Structure 1
């Protein structure tokens, strides 16, 4: 083997081994070579990008400026974009835009100029950063709130004490009426401060070893009165729940607050589902998606089929005094109190909502040390070693680009090829145009003409060989009640384990 052939072989091996995307182009911007990581990152098939201009990998605004940047560099030699990494946006084949970091190097050989771009997907990093910033913001608000609440407690102690002294000394009816009114207002202020102390994680919890299933059943009559006769409530409690350390009074208060929020969101004829189960978060993907630390938990989820929340509302839902229901007397402290109580109990809280379809709030309370060991999860072995695919194709249908990115990464990790669609209608048109898929993995709630149920029904009629697995963060019986379609469809609930997804797809592909 001569030296040139050896260097070529080594270069190809280096490209294939590189975990980051690598794209080689000429001075005209024509793609000459790229590694498998690049084709996967941008959602293209092998060989599909070679010969195209690198502009196809950029959003329009950046693509329009790219040629100008490169011409200026070649003419002047200025290196503003060469040898310096920067954060930009990439454009996938399906039209979705994602954040990435790019570093560009230049090579001159035999009178030709070549550029090598190394690209790193920043989606997970930015998701983690946003979750961290949100947590830090709530922590900062909590610390400030705790300090203010402490000072106001001192002031209210003096005010209430003096008003009670005036009350004890008596007086005419007019004076007593004024003192009683002032005392009632001060006590309301004290209650407000108590609620703020819960959010600030400075309340005096009285935790005991408890079974969440038992506590929930005990609270059910109160929840039924809270929801009213026009709404229905269903409870699903898994067997053999692990015990947790929790303040029963605060847990019941949290359930009532969540029920009140659900009642206001559902108006009338609503459906509320409370589900409790053991979860073992030993899956890195699931931990990233839910912002919950790896470990064993008991998860208590409260789901409604109300109006749901916009993305902006979801970002601020746990902040104190943030409310969209001022006209209904909302104070904005209900979810803030739940958040503070769960975090003070060493737990975590996640929120999933689809506008127009409902909301699910999940409380993750850590299992008592040693309790999980006495009740091992039946899926523990399968979770640690998920079954792998054999190159079958899964069409991922999800309107949220971040969630879609998670799903694609998971599926590729376990040996599947992937195609992507942002809506049910786009997925249907892709299949009609000849895109091959063994399984369609679709979100249940999506914008456009087809939701997940409608897409599944259409595929069962026109593409019966294609298996369909649906996923949703809302309770299945809440969502399916709005679908008004017949059919028994397999639903994987968000958030889900890496192994759960692998096992469900493998089961679909295994001949009966």
Structure 2
């Protein structure tokens, strides 16, 4: 028996060829279906001959929808227009651009969303026909990680530069202040004294500026002490309530049980003042500000991904407002020194930079969540100091805790406009044993339901672009699809920023970031309600 063209063949007239051909086909099918990465086989014209399950999931198609269609359906329009020319050029000249090399490109899913992927293409001859085999790997998570790392490195680089400038500037100010004081002491006359006084006050303002820059650069001398954030926040808010203005309502939500943290009380109060005054400016003539403090345990991979924080026990200080919100560019650059959206009103751009530097120097992390027109929420995470008695629900290692409840194949529609968060939510819910569908907006989700898509639960973000927000979608579902349960989620700390969206029907909100076990419990509670009728 010999092998020819990739198929084992026996003697003419025998049955070995048929048996071995079937075996080879079964092995090939098993390999493709077991592959973690997407695999697509096409002919030289670009027609898809075969696609595995991973490819179908990646592009949101059924495999039957892909086979027989052009691979151009999986590309953004600009790339699709060039693809046929690339293929023809390769077939004619043999020049390799992607074939046998691989490169990072962009793919397009069934819903039209664009995502980064790595494509490696090989080719072969089967029965005289040239075929191409593409192996694709979704780079969405890697790209998000790289962006976060680049942002952190940029801030670190700016901090290092800023720290050096501030150090030299302090030396200059020392000389200036010293000479001014000598002039004052050596008998300056009445005409000279006011000038010296103004110069000294200005030099002191410069010294204060460099102090704040040093905090951002993490080169300041913090004096951390074991502190209760509730007490520090209460003292600061007592001052704020007298200075922020009567048109701004300050609410607090302090947990009854709270771990102590090691922070510099002066810097903590300064950071809270900065955030509160920024919120006041964003709210215009009036609004609501919420300051909340609670223990947070980051003990699963998903929550660590979402917050970009190392697993562990933290105390989170959240400051949320219902002001104008921030666009994506402002969010990206919010913590850079001297970046400000309030230059015309005298903003220095150092407030958030100082907050960032202080929290990072304290071993913590800062998160920012904002939507234009809906407000902003900052989360300051400080490592908790262990004390007795420890929290019962956090005792033991994560591996010793009971696994979260899982689903039984029910279908959940995930509605989220942020592509990274949507992908993360899909992974979380699939890991809990549920089937998933996805929509980028509430408008799209409502259209899917109207077209007869069958789901058990709709899991929707609260604030989204389009005609409908999460509350609107939930209200329509309750009225038009009463068999479907709804779970809303939001990155805001409370109803301070969501009160404007509220409807007659109350909905519980799962606040981001949330633990996998908490998500599992909420979904199980909803589905238990379904089974109970």
Taking structure 2 as the reference length, what is the TM-score of the superposition? Answer: 0.92
Contact 2:326 2:372 in 1 (8 A): yes
The change in CA–CA distance for 1:152 and 1:384 in structure 2 (over 3 A counts) is farther
Tell me which residue corresponds to 1:76. 93
Contact 1:25 1:115 in 2 (8 A): yes
Residues 1:374 and 2:407 aligned together: no
Alignment of 1:305-344 (within 5 A): 305-344=322-361
Distance, in Å, in 1 between the alignment partners of 2:404 and 2:89 is 51
The change in CA–CA distance for 1:88 and 1:383 in structure 2 (over 3 A counts) is farther
Alignment of 1:349-364 (within 5 A): 349-364=366-381
Residues 1:438 and 2:459 aligned together: no
The change in CA–CA distance for 1:241 and 1:403 in structure 2 (over 3 A counts) is same
Alignment of 1:167-206 (within 5 A): 167-206=184-223
CA RMSD of aligned residues (A): 1.8
Tell me which residue corresponds to 1:11. 28
Contact 1:384 1:499 in 2 (8 A): no
Choose which of 148, 153, 173 in structure 2 pairs with 1:131. 148
Deviations 1:87-110 (A, max 9, x none): 011111111100000111112111
Q: Structure 1 residue 383: deviation in Å?
A: 7.3
Distance, in Å, in 1 between the alignment partners of 2:400 and 2:489 is 20
Q: Structure 1 residue 373: deviation in Å?
A: 8.1
Contact 2:280 2:286 in 1 (8 A): no
Alignment of 1:225-244 (within 5 A): 225-244=242-261
Aligned length: 511
Tell me which residue corresponds to 2:504. 486
Say which SS state the counterpart of residue 280 (structure 1) adopts.
strand
Residues 1:28 and 2:45 aligned together: yes
Choose which of 121, 127, 131 in structure 2 pairs with 1:110. 127
Residues 1:496 and 2:514 aligned together: yes
Distance, in Å, in 1 between the alignment partners of 2:343 and 2:243 is 19
Distance, in Å, in 1 between the alignment partners of 2:461 and 2:244 is 29
Distance, in Å, in 1 between the alignment partners of 2:356 and 2:233 is 18
Distance, in Å, in 2 between the alignment partners of 1:502 and 1:35 is 30
Tell me which residue corresponds to 1:44. 61
Tell me which residue corresponds to 1:505. 523
The change in CA–CA distance for 1:406 and 1:226 in structure 2 (over 3 A counts) is farther
Contact 2:320 2:493 in 1 (8 A): yes
Distance, in Å, in 2 between the alignment partners of 1:358 and 1:213 is 23
Say which SS state the counterpart of residue 30 (structure 2) adopts.
helix
Deviations 1:382-411 (A, max 9, x none): 977232222221111112222212112222
Deviations 1:174-219 (A, max 9, x none): 1101101111111111111111111111111110111112221222
Distance, in Å, in 2 between the alignment partners of 1:373 and 1:94 is 51
Q: Structure 1 residue 424: deviation in Å?
A: 1.0
Choose which of 292, 299, 306 in structure 2 pairs with 1:275. 292
Distance, in Å, in 2 between the alignment partners of 1:253 and 1:137 is 24
- In structure 1, runs of 5+ residues without a counterpart are none
Say which SS state the counterpart of residue 293 (structure 1) adopts.
coil
Say which SS state the counterpart of residue 11 (structure 1) adopts.
helix
Residues 1:398 and 2:399 aligned together: no
Tell me which residue corresponds to 1:470. 488
Distance, in Å, in 2 between the alignment partners of 1:475 and 1:210 is 23
Tell me which residue corresponds to 2:265. 248
Contact 1:94 1:420 in 2 (8 A): no
Q: Structure 1 residue 58: deviation in Å?
A: 0.7
Deviations 1:58-93 (A, max 9, x none): 111111111221222223332322111100111111
Q: Structure 1 residue 134: deviation in Å?
A: 0.7
Distance, in Å, in 2 between the alignment partners of 1:154 and 1:176 is 24
Taking structure 1 as the reference length, what is the TM-score of the superposition? Answer: 0.96
Distance, in Å, in 1 between the alignment partners of 2:363 and 2:275 is 19
Distance, in Å, in 1 between the alignment partners of 2:40 and 2:244 is 58
